[in-house]
Structure formats: C-alpha cells, structure tokens
Amino acid sequence: MSARAESPVRVMSGNEACAEGALAARLRFFAGYPITPSSEIAEDLSVRLPGVGGVFLQMEDEIAAMGAVIGASLAGAKAMTATSGPGFSLKQENIGFACMAEVPCVIVNVQRGGPSTGLPTMPAQGDVMQARWGTHGDHPIIVLVPNSVAETYELTVRAFNLSEAYRTPVILLLDEIIAHVNEKVHFPEKLEVVDRKGPDEPPATYKPYRHTPDMVPPMATYGRAGYRFHVTGLAHDDTGFPTNDPEQIDKLNRRLNGKLDLHRDAIVEVARHDCDDAELAVFAYGSVARAAHQAVREARAKGIRAGLLRPRTLWPFADREVRELAGRVRTIVVPEMNLGQMAHEVEWAARGACRVIPLTRVDGLPISPAQILGMIEKA
C-alpha cells in the first residue's frame, strides 16, 4: 500500500518522496547500485516494489543497472534507476543507447560535490551540463529540477509521464539538500499518469521507428502478442535495422531531436516570483532557488524590485522565458553550486539584453540568502 493511500499528508525526505512518486506513476522495475546521497531511494523501493508486483534488482554496478532498466522498459515495464555523480558518469553510454533506441526510462541523479568521488555527503549542482551533454552525439534529453520535497514527488511523476509520452529517457536532478531535507507533502487526490502509446498496426506490418506527425512512434511491448523487432544503438531505419543510407540517417537524427522541439512548450516549465515589475532578476534552480526566493523577499522589503525565475525543466533550456525577462530587467543574477554552468546558458539566451552575473560556490556548503541578497544589492 502506498503512503498516499494511508494519509493525504506526510512528512518525508526528498529521496522518500522520489520513491513515492515513482510508485504513484506505476513504476514496476528498479535496478541500481547503492551510492550516497541517493541510497534511500533504492532502500525504500527494495521494500515497496515487491508489494505492488514490481521487481527490485541491486546490480553489480551502475552500467549493468542502466542496461537492466532499458531491457525492462522494452519488455513493457515502467523502469527507473537512481544514482549520484560517479554512477551517473558510468551510466552515460547506456543513456545514449536509450536515446537512440527511444526507450522510456527515468534516471535520478542526486548530485554531490565533485570532480571524481569529491564530496559524497555534501551538496552540489555540478552535473547540470553532464545531464545534457554527458552522452556522445546529438541526442534529445529532458531534465527536471525540483526545489522541495513536495515538488520532488510531483516531478518524479512528471518524469515518468514525459518519458512515456515522448519515448525518451528523462533525468531527475536532485541535490543532496533536497534529497535529505524533511518536509510536509500533501498528496493530490487525483493524479495524471501517462502510459506509452501502443502499436496501432499488427505485428506483420509494425515498424518500431515509424515517422509520425507527432514524431513519437507507437511502441509495442517486446515479445507480447507477436511483436518482435530489432533494437540497436546503430543508426537505423524505421524497421529498427541498421542503415548507412545518409537520407535515412539524417531523417532519424532530425526526428529524434525534433520531437522535443515540436513539444517544447508542453515540456518546459518555469515558476516566476515577483517578475512582473522586477528591475533585477535571479535565475536559480534546485535547493539554491529556495535561498534565492528568500533573498528576493528581503530585497523587496528593502525597496529593491527583484524577481525570481525558477526553471522546473532545466533541459530543454527555458531560453524564450529568459530572453523575455532579459528584455525587461537590467541584471540577472545566477547563483549555483558550481562554477557557473547555467550562467553561460542564461547569458546566451539573454543575447546582450541585460547584464548576467554568476554567483558560484563549490566548497560543499549551500549558497545562503544573505549571499544572494548581497549580490542583488551590489548589482
């Protein structure tokens, strides 16, 4: 029985909320390998999944875990893995395979300090570029970034829904603060759960990578009702078999990336706070957005017209929303627990319309409201 069925309100950690959201989205397969600070997700699901008819596997390493998730998804199960920075690096090749083979799955990365094994118990946001560009080649990806425990539950469900709707891996980026803070979560009475679009033709004529107007091919459950098809990481035609035909290769790559472009407005979400009359704005995500929100409130109390633009979807990047804001403010401050990874994206999207100032921290400690307020006052 899920916690939501037991009570509409619970106090829990971000990692617990992630597991709860996955179960609410009908997760039925989890494969992973323990790593701080994500281990509670696996621990919770190891107990909970068998109770709903699901499967939990602790694999020998993160590479195998990602492979098992892909196989389970092809066989029809909603599948997920969870890890942190070093494990996320090991998963990249198979994430690329999932992008090319259009396999729905969810990858949770609870970020910690790096590089290498870095700071296992301390927060960071150093994986945001790796989430987008970690695997080789031109590939589509969706990355969601919650800023609270309640939003972790919500965006875990959304990660599964987007993955199923667009036949693509979706990455949920937490950081150690969100993973381990305990907060109250109000579970919704009604929850939208999306399932993948099944085949609309018999096995004899089914093409697993058929080009459709919405750019998302119907997906059969492998081996069920006679559906058997070729799955490969090689460039392939609409039958799934490898091809060296330049026309087919170009068509495939443009569709893979084009499906997220086509559905961009349904995927990208931002939250705005006090932006309507703002003269200065803060762009912040994850746990840093909480400090930024407090700093904006304190700046307002001092008569400074500050606002906050907070992406809930980090990739595809909210370039249009940033560009619109940049046209109305003099400065955008970008605080983040790295050396300015998203500040470059904000500067690119602003296109010189306003000044962009990074505020960085990489010592394993969180960015405080006072630090952000100080930058606002200085700017």
Structural domain spans, the chain: 3-186, 271-378
The structure tokens listed for 47 are 């107990």
Please name every residue paired with 272 in a beta bridge, in sequence order, or none if there are none.
Answer: 309
Residue ranges of the chain whose pLDDT lies below 70 = 1-6
Nearest to 126 by CA among 149, 110, 144: 110
What kind of fold does domain 271-378 have according to CATH?
Answer: Rossmann fold (3.40.50)
123 burial level (CB within 10 Å; 0-12, 13-18, 19+): buried
- Tell me the three state secondary structure of residue 107: strand
Phi, psi of 55, deg, nearest 5: -125, 130
Length of the chain: 379
247 burial level (CB within 10 Å; 0-12, 13-18, 19+): exposed
| Domain at 3-186: CATH architecture | 3-Layer(aba) Sandwich (3.40)
Q: What is residue 119's DSSP assignment?
A: B
In degrees, rounded to 5, the angle at the alpha carbon of residue 85 between the alpha carbons of residues 81 and 89 is 80
Rounded CA-CA distance 102/168 in Å is 5
Q: Which residue has tokens 């929303």?
A: 321
CA–CA distances in Å: residue 253 to residues 105, 166, 212: 20, 15, 14
Rounded CA-CA distance 232/97 in Å is 8
C-beta separation of 38 from 89 below 8 A: no
The structure tokens listed for 106 are 């969810």
CA–CA distances in Å: residue 308 to residues 290, 321, 324, 361: 10, 12, 13, 19
Nearest to 108 by CA among 167, 176, 48, 54: 176
Same fold, 3-186 and 271-378: yes
- The secondary structure element, H or E, covering residue 360 is strand 355-360
The structure tokens listed for 206 are 């089914």
**Dihedral sign computed on CA atoms, order 23, 170, 191, 72:** negative
C-beta separation of 129 from 341 below 8 A: yes
Q: Which residue has tokens 């008819």?
A: 53
For residue 287, the model assigns a pLDDT of: 98
For residue 378, the model assigns a pLDDT of: 95
Rounded CA-CA distance 335/63 in Å is 33
The pTM for the full model equals: 0.96
Q: Sheet holding 306-311: strands in order across?
A: 270-273, 306-311, 280-283, 331-336, 355-360
The distance from CA 185 to its chain's CA centroid, rounded to whole angstroms, is: 20
The structure tokens listed for 361 are 């921290």
Q: What is residue 8's DSSP assignment?
A: S
- Tell me the three state secondary structure of residue 291: helix
104 burial level (CB within 10 Å; 0-12, 13-18, 19+): buried
- On the question of a cis peptide bond just before residue 37, with omega within 30 degrees of 0, the verdict is yes
In degrees, rounded to 5, the angle at the alpha carbon of residue 107 between the alpha carbons of residues 101 and 109 is 145
Nearest to 21 by CA among 245, 185, 244: 185
